Amino acid sequence: MFSNQKGRPAPATIKERNLEGSVKFFNVEKGFGFIKADGNSEEYFVHISGVNGQDIAQEDRVRFDVVEDKKGPKAINVEKI
């Protein structure tokens, strides 16, 4: 699972690109939340490190990519639309 001898994880492979949805919940103090994708019932975990330089809040419309994390699907490259 590790890509080099320094113990850094290999870059995640993007499973889905350019999904759109709404921020269901985001806790600024803890730096995480969930995004609900349009058109299905999927909800994706999002960490502040996956947000592209913008503040996000509940009900914001966003576009994002999905990777498979060790704990399940995770939203990355999140940006407001």
The whole-number pLDDT of residue 6 equals 60
- Domain presence at residue 71: yes
CATH number of the domain to which 18 belongs: 2.40.50.140
Residue 3 banded pLDDT, cuts 50, 70, 90: very low
Quick one: CA dihedral 20, 23, 28, 32, positive or negative? negative
Q: Across residues 45-58, what is the average pLDDT? A: 95
Count of domains for the chain: 1
| 25 located within any domain | yes
Question: pLDDT band for position 2 (50/70/90)?
Answer: very low
Interatomic CA distance for residues 71 and 64, integer angstroms: 18
pTM passes above 0.75: yes
Would 66 be classed as within a structural domain? yes
73 located within any domain: yes
Q: Is residue 2 part of a domain?
A: no
Residue 6 belongs to some domain of the structure: no
